[in-house]
Amino acid sequence: MTLEATIVCLDNSEWMRNGDFAPSRAEAQKDAVNLICASKTQSNPESAVSIMSMAGKKPEVLVTLTQELSKILSGAQELKVSGKIDFSTTMQIAQLALRHRQNNHQHPRIIAFVGSPLKETKEELIQLAKRLKKNGVAVDIINFGEVTENSDKLEAFINDVNNNDESHLLTVPPGPHILSDIILQSPIVESGSGQFGSEFINADTDPDLAMALKLSLEEEKQRQERERKAREEANGGPTTNAGTTTTAPTESNMDVNFEDDPELAEALALSLATDKMDVQPSTNTDSQPPQQPPTDDTSSEAFKDQDFLNSTLNSLPGVDPNRIKNALENLSKKDEDKDKDNEKK
């Protein structure tokens, strides 16, 4: 949620034709750029992103700082591969572009993809880093492709530009993995200049908005915690209920969740009532929402797989898996109680 002005610098040198990242380094870089730009614009709608190329005849700004994702992505698509990268000139141009950003409250950041050997010496890079740090610019570097040659220089660079853990170096050696996935899990995408941005939102814009955002984030975290616990319980639960989540009909007391979702409760109750007539719950998991067609034996095993279930539920329109999971947890607990009662009888 940090307000940032980010300049993404792309490596479009001849080294990017290399196929060690499938299908080629350039394509992997394109995907990664799309990911990064989307995450920056989504995390804060007032953040601006710009795209620059580092190689070619000279480093060039392809898309000036803008908040519109479509402009950014179309600019990144036009990149042509040629020449060698000029890292220091790129950094200087990026710094100049950031200095002239329209909104001075956006925290400046440069994200650079380096996939070819750097021609600058370590000392030159350290000088550059010190200047960037002094002007308060954070720099993230994604070191891929020519990892062995560049790691040393880039580590020195990041050490000198790093201020309060805002700058990161992500080293990706060539292999079967996907560049975008690795970037997704790294701190480059998750957090920008964390503390500074959130303090700013609190102080400058609505304090109410900031509180509301904080609360909803906490609620989401708590909900996910609950689901995780429930899943663990269900997995290690009694064997009469096979699969990961099963249900049984319940006509008994309405519960907090059902008060929130009366339609869901009714629908589930209906579908479960019809299923109780036939097969035992062990071969049939009724955990789909009423919109789905009834299961048959061939697909019942597939539906037992939690991941498949989750992805199916997520892809259906109008289905909120969180609601369903909460409802089902309660049902499964009631089911255990009922079974115990039945066995006693």
C-alpha 133/C-alpha 156 separation (Å) is: 13
Cβ-based nearer residue to another protein, 133 or 334: 133
Q: Would you say 160 or 286 has its CB closer to another protein?
A: 160
CB of 141 to another protein, least distance (A): 20
Question: Cβ distance 53 to 43 under 8 Å?
Answer: no
Pick the closest to residue 109 from 43, 169, 192 (CA basis): 192
Give Rg (Cα) of the chain: 26
Q: How far is the CB of 115 from another protein (least distance, A)?
A: 28
> CB of 137: closest distance to another protein in angstroms?
9
Residue 197 buriedness (CB in 10 A; 0-12 / 13-18 / 19+)? buried
Q: How far is the CB of 43 from another protein (least distance, A)?
A: 19
Q: Which is nearer to another protein, 135 or 185 (CB)?
A: 135
Please say which residue, 74 or 89, places its beta carbon nearer to another protein. Answer: 89
Minimum Å gap between C-beta 92 and another protein is 9
Cβ-based nearer residue to another protein, 17 or 99: 99
CB 307 within 8 A of CB 299: no
Q: Give the residues lining the site for another protein (CB under 8 A).
A: 95-96, 99-100, 104, 130-131, 133-136, 163-164, 195-196, 199-200, 202-204
Peptide bond into 23 cis (omega under 30): yes
- Which one-letter DSSP state was computed for residue 294? P
| Six-digit token string for 201 | 């939102």
Helix (H) or strand (E) holding 111: strand 107-114
Q: What CA–CA distances, in Å, run from 3 to 35, 40, 247?
A: 18, 9, 45
Rounded distance between C-alpha atoms, residue 331 and residue 245, angstroms? 10
Query: CA-to-CA distance for 325 and 344, rounded, in angstroms?
Result: 29
Minimum gap (Å) between residue 200 Cβ and another protein: 7
Q: Is 24 helix (H, G, I), strand (E, B) or coil?
A: coil
- Spatial contact of 158 and 112, defined as CB atoms under 8 Å apart: no
We find the least distance from the C-beta atom of residue 135 to another protein, in angstroms, to be: 5
CA–CA dist 44, 67 (Å, integer): 10
Nearer to another protein, 211 or 254 (CB): 211
> C-beta of 134: minimal distance to another protein in Å?
5
- Residue with smaller CB distance to another protein, 131 or 323: 131
Q: What is the rounded distance in angstroms from the CA atom of residue 286 to the CA atom of residue 326?
A: 15
Q: Give the nearer residue to another protein in terms of CB position, either 19 or 136.
A: 136
